[in-house]
């Protein structure tokens, strides 16, 4: 019943801490429980109870990453409209909300610093790749030109790392999700989204081989410089293809075959690049039709972009 649901919603926010939590999450995107504890200065059990009530009322969404729980405001439907209406009642110059926001800014600066520290620790790997690789801007330019995104609602970037693809493509779709196994990478990606002011994204910890998405649900998938780390790249392509809607596109960008053994020995690459025919055969086995291939020459590492489209469902004629 609509009336009962409205009463439940109003009850859920009728408490100062819960209203503050809603305002903070509306401004701050995805925040972990420990970040919210730091902003509000209240105990974790207390905040967890409030978060549970807001989530039960549908105003917040919860997801976990390892042992961490993250929250964000409802992204669509009547619940997201309720969040907007409720928050519009708050005065712009409310002192408590302003203090919370300034604590949130401190937390976000800490995220950016953690991201920088992470890069510092991994600097040798990035530098090595940057020296050998094709210019990143050229790859980005080719990817943007190649991937048709008209009317795409849900884009997924698999092995998102620092979220480079998300930054590029999220502004062109309704919603974008980046998944990666590495929690530190995900912290960096979140910091990057905050810095770029991109809010229509979700960053999730997940495995490429078991994507947390329904079959036939996504409009486009990107996979940039990931397959060479995988022991089963073909299975990764098949799993991505499962989640694509018929007619949806998958863009893979990876290294062309090369002989830089050092990348295998010291930088965890399992495969030294891929032939076109190999990637295209994975597409074909997964029900994807190869649409375009672009080669970008580098020295010694060249990059290839492969674009494929999922077959439309053909109705069985009786
Ligand atoms: C070289 S980075 C590329 C990141 C990003 N796509 C880019 O181009 O900047 C490869 C990423 O793949 C992720 N990765 C490797 N194996 C994975 C798996 N099984 N599931 C999810 N992510 C994985 C790594 O954690 C890493 O962030």
Is the pLDDT reported for residue 317 higher than 50?
A: no
What mean pLDDT is predicted for residues 22-48?
Answer: 90
- pLDDT band at residue 65 using 50, 70 and 90 as cut-offs: low
Is the pLDDT reported for residue 318 higher than 50?
A: no
- pLDDT band at residue 24 using 50, 70 and 90 as cut-offs: very high
CA distance 75 to 59: 9
**Atom nearest to 162 CA in ligand 1:** 9
Mutate to test the pocket of ligand 1, among 180, 206, 209, 227 (most ligand atoms within 8 A of CB): 180
Q: What is the pLDDT of residues 110-142, one digit of tens each?
A: 877 776 776 667 755 665 666 677 788 899 999
- 279-306: b or e for each residue (b if 16 or more CB lie within 10 Å)? bbebbeebebebeeeeebebeebbbbbb
What mean pLDDT is predicted for residues 73-82?
Answer: 85
Q: What is the pLDDT of residues 276-292, one digit of tens each?
A: 999 999 999 999 999 99
What confidence score (pLDDT) does residue 129 get? 66
Element spanning 178, H or E: strand 175-180
Is the pLDDT reported for residue 176 higher than 90?
A: yes
Mean pLDDT over each residue of the chain, to the nearest integer: 89
Query: Pocket around ligand 1: residues whose beta carbon is below 6 Å from it?
Result: 159-162, 164-165, 180-182, 185, 207-209, 224-226, 229-230
Mutate to test the pocket of ligand 1, among 136, 137, 159, 190 (most ligand atoms within 8 A of CB): 159
**Atom nearest to 207 CA in ligand 1:** 20
- Let me know the angle formed at the C-alpha of 32 by 226 and 198, rounded to the nearest 5 degrees: 60
Which residues, listed in sequence order, are joined to residue 151 by a DSSP beta bridge?
none
Q: In the CATH scheme, what is the code of domain 2-114?
A: 1.10.10.10
Q: Round to the nearest angstrom and report the end-to-end CA distance of the chain.
A: 44
Same fold, 2-114 and 123-310: no
What confidence score (pLDDT) does residue 128 get? 64
123-310: CATH class: alpha beta
CA of 299 to the centre of ligand 1 (A): 23
What mean pLDDT is predicted for residues 163-183?
Answer: 94
**Atom nearest to 157 CA in ligand 1:** 6
**Atom nearest to 185 CA in ligand 1:** 27
Which one is predicted more confidently, 211 or 2? 211
Q: Where are the domains of the chain?
A: 2-114, 123-310
Strands 303-310 and 201-205: unpaired
What mean pLDDT is predicted for residues 228-237?
Answer: 91
- pLDDT band at residue 307 using 50, 70 and 90 as cut-offs: very high
């Amino acid at each position: 019943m609509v009336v009962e649901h409205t009463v439940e919603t109003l009850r859920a926010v009728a408490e100062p801490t819960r209203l503050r939590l809603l305002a903070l999450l509306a401004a701050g995107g995805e925040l972990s429980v420990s970040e919210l504890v730091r902003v509000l200065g209240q105990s974790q059990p207390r905040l967890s109870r409030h978060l549970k009530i807001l989530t039960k009322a549908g105003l917040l969404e919860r997801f976990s990453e390892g042992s961490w729980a993250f929250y964000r405001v409802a992204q669509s439907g009547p619940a997201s409209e309720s969040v907007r209406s409720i928050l519009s009642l708050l005065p712009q110059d409310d002192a408590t909300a302003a203090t919370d926001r300034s604590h949130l800014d401190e937390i976000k600066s800490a995220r950016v610093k953690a991201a920088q520290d992470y890069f510092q620790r991994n600097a040798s790997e990035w530098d090595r790749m940057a020296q050998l690789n094709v210019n990143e801007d050229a790859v980005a330019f080719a990817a943007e030109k190649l991937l048709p995104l008209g009317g795409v609602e849900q884009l997924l970037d698999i092995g998102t790392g620092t979220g480079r693809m998300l930054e590029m493509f999220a502004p062109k779709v309704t919603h974008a999700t980046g998944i990666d196994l590495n929690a530190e990478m995900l912290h960096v990606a979140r910091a990057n989204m905050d810095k770029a002011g991109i809010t229509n994204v979700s960053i999730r910890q997940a495995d490429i081989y078991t994507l947390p998405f329904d079959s036939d649900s996504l409009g486009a998938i990107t996979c940039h410089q990931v397959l060479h780390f995988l022991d089963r790249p073909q299975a990764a392509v098949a799993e991505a293809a499962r989640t694509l809607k018929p007619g949806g596109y998958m863009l893979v960008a990876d290294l062309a075959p090369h002989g830089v053994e050092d990348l295998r020995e010291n930088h965890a690459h399992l495969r030294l690049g891929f032939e076109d025919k190999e990637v295209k055969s994975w597409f074909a086995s997964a029900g994807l039709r190869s649409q375009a291939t672009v080669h970008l020459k580098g020295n010694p590492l060249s990059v290839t972009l492969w674009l494929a489209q999922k077959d439309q469902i053909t109705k069985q004629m009786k």
